[in-house]
Amino acid sequence: MIDEKIQLLLDIYKQSLPADWRISPPKSNLKKDYLSFLQELEQLRGRSLIYPYMGSGKGAGVYVELLDGSIKMDLLGGVGVQILGHTHPELQKTILKAALSNIFMQGHLLLNKEYLTLSRKLVSLAQKHSRLKHVWLTTSGSMANENALKMARQKNHSRRKILAFDRAFAGRSTLMSEITSNPKIKEGLPSYDEVLRIPFYDPQNPGKSLKILKSHLKKEGDNISAFIFEIIIGEGGYKSAPRDFFISLFEECRKYKIALWADEIQTFLRTGTFFAFEKWDLAKYIDLCTVGKGLQLAATFFIEEYKPRPGLVSGTFSASTPALAAGFKVLEILEKDYIGKTGKIATIEKEFINLFKELKEKHLIKDYDVFGLMAAFSLPDASRENTQNFLKKLFKNGVIGLICGRSIFRVRFLIPAIIKKEEIKELKEILLKTFSDEK
Ligand SMILES: Cc1ncc(COP(=O)(O)O)c(C=O)c1O
């Protein structure tokens, strides 16, 4: 009965949506109000938005409507949150049903069955390949990372230091800002001197990282609690490394009993396997793993030895009931059609490789990398300013992406898994138009 009524509600709602979703410019009668909303928000937040993006609450698949009436192709999705695009019908149903619950926010002293169902599913996925046996849910990637670090520090008591790549992004809490290597996001903050840096993989000098790791270990090996790493460097520029590169570092860390902690907050659900560590065949090494974004909440996985003692991790909120239910639904939908060698993510990856290859052959882009639903390219002039300008023009032309990288900057897309072939063609046309606007 409830299911039928929810379907009825969704059918009625659908009638209020545009019948034809296609990229379109702002509506002139909405422009003035829109500008004043953006100015008011800037005033309230004390800072302007990166893009003039304020959603109307409506979207369909890869498209999103903004409050100025424009329709954009959303290849950012809040940096990966919208992994199934906008208004996915099954997800909508799940969210509406969950919203009828007696509690909206669930936490460690207030939880219903959705919490159990999602935790059970997450652990069963992790256990297929790794030793990860437990999971702790929380609201944000930064908080999941804080929890992982505390678990590592409690187990490896009195060790202060953390190993991290020099292009790491770990979030924006005080300590995660310290681990993040971007000076722009910690301007004016004190340095706690807790992080030891290792350069990320350099194909021109593949042995350099191991050499630097060894020198850290020689000096501080017994004072290091954890090595946090992204298998695909996200904010740092969408680059990865061969399996052996990671293994050489992991084996060294193992000698000092340093926790190996995969930060999969961006890569989880995106590479064609649930975890990137499965794709790179690194599962057996992982002690801790953090995930977020497309899951609609965040979580810390850990092996038996890193189980926190009571009191170490908790919090009023873990996630909203609709987010917990949606997280479970996202996993179910992806497992059915999207994950695996023949899944839809693998097809999308191939289509983006073909697209970028063509752009490179035309000398419109310098280089590119595509890892499932994570795709990035550098412009011939890969400076921050030029890349940012290109992205602004792209936004104006109807496609939302984001910058990443350090010194060499890139345009990146966090592609929703529901993107269709014809939408990739449309993207190509808009990219070509934006390149020609450049000239
Ligand atoms: C690799 C990685 N770690 C941590 C975070 C922080 O997650 P959140 O913004 O949810 O705190 C992010 C967010 O972009 C990320 O990409």
Which pLDDT belongs to residue 438? 66
* Cβ atoms of 31 and 68 closer than 8 Å: yes
Residues 146 and 51 occupy one common structural domain: no
Contacts of 375 (CB under 8 A, 6+ apart): 238, 352, 356, 368, 369, 412, 413, 415
For a mutational test of ligand 1's pocket, the pick from 50, 83, 169, i.e. the residue with the most ligand atoms closer than 8 A to its C-beta, is: 169
Classified as helix, coil or strand, 333 is helix
Residues 353 and 233 occupy one common structural domain: no
CA of 141 to the centre of ligand 1 (A): 5
What is d(CA 333, CA 342) in angstroms, rounded to the nearest whole number? 15
Residues 375 and 401 occupy one common structural domain: yes
Of ligand 1's atoms, which has the minimum distance to the CA of residue 171? Answer: 6
Which pLDDT belongs to residue 153? 98
Q: Which of 270, 304, 337 is the last residue of a domain?
A: 337
Instruction: Give ligand 1 pocket residues (Cβ under 6 A).
Output: 79, 140-142, 145, 169-171, 230, 234-235, 263, 265-266, 292, 298
CA of 290 to the centre of ligand 1 (A): 9
CA of 171 to the centre of ligand 1 (A): 5
Of ligand 1's atoms, which has the minimum distance to the CA of residue 230? Answer: 1
For a mutational test of ligand 1's pocket, the pick from 266, 318, 402, 403, i.e. the residue with the most ligand atoms closer than 8 A to its C-beta, is: 266
Nearest to 267 by CA among 252, 282, 277: 277
In a domain, 4, yes or no: no
CATH number at residue 392: 3.90.1150.10
CA of 291 to the centre of ligand 1 (A): 9
* Cβ atoms of 137 and 119 closer than 8 Å: yes
In a domain, 1, yes or no: no
CA of 170 to the centre of ligand 1 (A): 6
What is d(CA 66, CA 34) in angstroms, rounded to the nearest whole number? 9
Nearest to 242 by CA among 275, 201, 204: 201
Q: Which of 321, 337, 353 is the last residue of a domain?
A: 337
Side chain identity, residue 74: D
Residues 331 and 345 occupy one common structural domain: no
| Protein residue closest via CA to atom 3 of ligand 1 | 170
Which pLDDT belongs to residue 407? 87
Residues 331 and 346 occupy one common structural domain: no
Residues 105 and 221 occupy one common structural domain: yes
Which pLDDT belongs to residue 25? 96
Q: Which two tokens stand for residue 248?
A: 């050489």
When divided into structural domains, the chain yields a total of 2
Residues 49 and 139 occupy one common structural domain: no
Residues 164 and 240 occupy one common structural domain: yes
Which pLDDT belongs to residue 264? 98
Contacts of 91 (CB under 8 A, 6+ apart): 84, 326, 329, 330, 333
In a domain, 93, yes or no: no
CA of 235 to the centre of ligand 1 (A): 9
What tens digit of pLDDT does each residue of 94-139 get? 999 999 999 999 999 999 999 999 999 999 999 999 999 999 999 9
- In 81-112, which ranges are continuous DSSP H helix? 89-98
Of ligand 1's atoms, which has the minimum distance to the CA of residue 298? Answer: 10
CA of 263 to the centre of ligand 1 (A): 8
For the chain, list residues with pLDDT below 50: none
CA of 270 to the centre of ligand 1 (A): 14
Of ligand 1's atoms, which has the minimum distance to the CA of residue 142? Answer: 11
- Work out the burial of residue 274: count CB atoms within 10 Å of its CB; fewer than 13 is exposed, 13-18 middle, 19 or more buried: buried
In a domain, 2, yes or no: no
Contacts of 148 (CB under 8 A, 6+ apart): 226, 228, 261, 288, 289, 290, 300, 302
Residues 350 and 264 occupy one common structural domain: no
In a domain, 310, yes or no: yes
Which pLDDT belongs to residue 161? 98
Cα→Cα distances 221→78, 180, 209, 232, 254, Å: 38, 21, 16, 25, 10
What is d(CA 52, CA 39) in angstroms, rounded to the nearest whole number? 10
In a domain, 230, yes or no: yes
In a domain, 8, yes or no: no
| Protein residue closest via CA to atom 7 of ligand 1 | 141
Which pLDDT belongs to residue 439? 64
CATH number at residue 195: 3.40.640.10
Residues 319 and 411 occupy one common structural domain: no
Q: What are phi and psi of 263, to 5 degrees?
A: -90, 100
Q: Do strands 367-371 and 134-138 pair parallel, antiparallel, or not at all (unpaired)?
A: unpaired
Of ligand 1's atoms, which has the minimum distance to the CA of residue 79? Answer: 14
CA of 239 to the centre of ligand 1 (A): 16
Residues 273 and 415 occupy one common structural domain: no
Residues 77 and 185 occupy one common structural domain: no
Under DSSP, the state recorded for 189 is P
In a domain, 269, yes or no: yes
Domain range for 409? 13-88+340-438
Q: What are phi and psi of 333, to 5 degrees?
A: -65, -45
Q: Where are the beta strands (DSSP E) in 67-131?
A: 71-74, 105-106
Which pLDDT belongs to residue 336? 97
Q: Which of 272, 302, 337 is the last residue of a domain?
A: 337
